[in-house]
Structure 1
Amino acid sequence: MEVVDTCVSSLFNPLEEVYRDRWLLAVHKPAGLLVHRSPIDRHETEFALQYARALNGGEHVYPVHRLDRPTSGLLLFARDPGTARALGKMFMSGSVKKTYLAMVRGWTPASGVIDHPLREHPADRRCKNEEQPVREARSCFRQLATVEIPVEIEGYPSSRYSLVELKPETGRKHQLRRHMQHISHPIIGDTNYGRTRHNHYFAERFGQSRLMLAATAMAFMHPVTGQPVTLKSIPEASFMQVLTVFSGEVAVTGLQVHSAVR
């Protein structure tokens, strides 16, 4: 099995190259960067797609899956149309296994499965009043760490949080964010589905506002060689900084996160 970790980032490119071969290019996308042009954000001029092309020597690359703008982490591109078609089918079938890390409000159960159908989001805001289909959606979670901090945020003398590993089995838009909201453990920093007071607390404490969701691993059979590939990427510094609220040490994809004085 081939295991590839994050390599050195380019000084002028916000993407960090994770893996490259004749057919594939994998990168780490920072939070706040769109993957490609979207009718929802028509004013934006910078996209992961153009930076990936720069990493690819100016040659075209082909996005094969989605990663929300506020989500950081692994993003995979194909380097030719045939590989893009093959990868697209793999993502649609669920044969690409993705792993995320998230910090959520409250103490979650040790593990669980969220099997909750989700209504599709319209592709264009002009269609927001049209009825959208409901699709099956399934996500698995596992608790990695918990913390209780002596800060009153919602009327209690202290506030609880969990670090969880998330594995989506389907690929609906905002699936993990909506599923964690559904079980009353919304992701910190989620302005759409989260809790405003908790989001504001962490934004003020760390001087930044970000979604605490990161794509950290991806496993699949290579669409050309047939060999298993596992990609891994450590979350970016802004994510790791917030994790310092956890007491003791939390192992995150091989990196020890040390607690800060609260």
Structure 2
Amino acid sequence: MNLEILFQDEYLVVINKPAGLLVHRTELDKAEEDAVVQRLRDQTGQWVFPVHRLDRGTSGVLVMAFSPKTARYLSEQFANAATAKTYHCLVRGLCPDNGVVDYPLAKLNEQKGKSRFKIEGTEKEAQTEFSCLQHYELPFPVSRYDSMRLSWVKVTPKQGRKHQIRRHFKHQFHPLVGDSCYGCRHVNKVIRAAWPDEQRLMLHASSLTFFHPDTHRTMTFNAQLDHKLLSVLAKLEQFKIN
């Protein structure tokens, strides 16, 4: 299946990555052969080089380069926090109207078959700004509560630490809906039962801004929500609260 291309020139290609697709093959999932890199190579007829990554379950704006030189130039922008990224996500609970999560993140040991744990001494600064766009209260019992509260949130991470948004919102006790690693199993179970056709990590990379490698002009790309997220938001409409 072809990927949705938002922009393409001789230097780079920008896509709206679907949820559930790896950016590239990984040692943690050797059996999975389908990935963005392979699809784009077949679709464009050119080798592509990853610049940054989105988690498998995350959808949205993703940029790839057509040469190692371009990839290095763009990757440096991400490493130096010279890009601007906006995400949208659905989280558990009534999130504050706005705020900043300032919490250093350590590397994680993620050997297959072993429990995940922090590697002490690898902590790096990480800040994530957020603003809550809407609160919801659903008449679905969750654990010991009679109802389920959710929030639709706009997020701007300053850095790009691995799983930064997911880990930061877990730290704030507002884990992302559909997150199998850091999420709330009680909420995820209720959502699976209520809306079985909309199962996914509720995280979308909505917008990305960076400098073009040749013209050095600022470029901004926006990616539309997929049908599952749109369907969930439509179903949540009746449960809005102030």
TM-score normalised over the length of structure 1: 0.85
> Partners of 1:100 and 1:51 in 2: how far apart?
24
Q: Does 1:237 align with 2:224?
A: no
How many Å apart are 1:82 and its aligned residue?
1.4
The correspondence for 1:157, drawn from 135, 146, 164, is: 146
Task: Give distance in 2, aligned partners of 1:172 and 1:223.
Answer: 23
Q: Is the 8 A contact 2:106 2:118 kept in 1?
A: no
Q: 1:134 aligns with which of 123, 134, 140?
A: 123
Contact 1:147 1:245 survives alignment (8 Å): no
Give the ranges of 4+ consecutive aligned residues of structure 1 lying more than 4 Å apart after TM superposition. Answer: 123-130
Tell me which of 68, 89, 95 is aligned to 2:76: 89
SS of equivalent residue, structure 2 residue 187: helix
Q: In the alignment, what sits opposite 1:253?
A: none
* Matching residue's letter, 2:68: P
Q: CA RMSD in A?
A: 2.0
Query: How far apart are the structure 2 equivalents of 1:115 and 1:189?
Result: 23
Matches of residues 25-40 of structure 1 in structure 2 within 5 Å?
25-40=13-28
Counterpart of 1:70, as a letter, is G
2:192 aligns to what?
A: 203
Equivalent residue number for residue 117 of structure 1:
104
1:188 to 2:177 alignment? yes
Match of 1:41 in 2: 29
Mark the runs of 5 or more structure 1 residues left unpaired by the alignment. 1-11, 249-258
Which structure shows the higher helix fraction?
2
Cα distance, 1:129 vs. partner? 7.6
Rate the CA distance shift 1:142–1:78 in 2: closer, same or farther, 3 A: same
Question: Which residue is equivalent to 1:255?
Answer: none
Alignment of 1:219-238 (within 5 A): 219-238=209-228
1:112 maps to amino acid: G
Provide closer, same or farther for how the CA distance between residues 150 and 129 of structure 1 changes in structure 2, counting only shifts above 3 A.
closer
Q: Deviation per CA, 1:93-132, whole angstroms, max 9, x where unpaired?
A: 0111111110001111111100101111247549978945
Greater CA drift, 127-136 or 173-182: 127-136
Aligned length: 237
Structure 2 residue 166 is matched with structure 1 residue 177: yes
Alpha-carbon offset, residue 55 of structure 1: 2.5
- Three-state SS of the structure 1 residue aligned to 2:13 is strand
Q: Give the whole-Å Cα distance in 2 for the aligned partners of 1:25 and 1:55.
A: 11
Q: Deviations over 1:4-52 (max 9, x none)?
A: xxxxxxxx32x21111122110111111111111111111111111111
Conservation of the 8 A alpha-carbon contact between 1:39 and 1:124: no
Give the distance between the partners of 1:224 and 1:246, measured in 2 at CA. 44
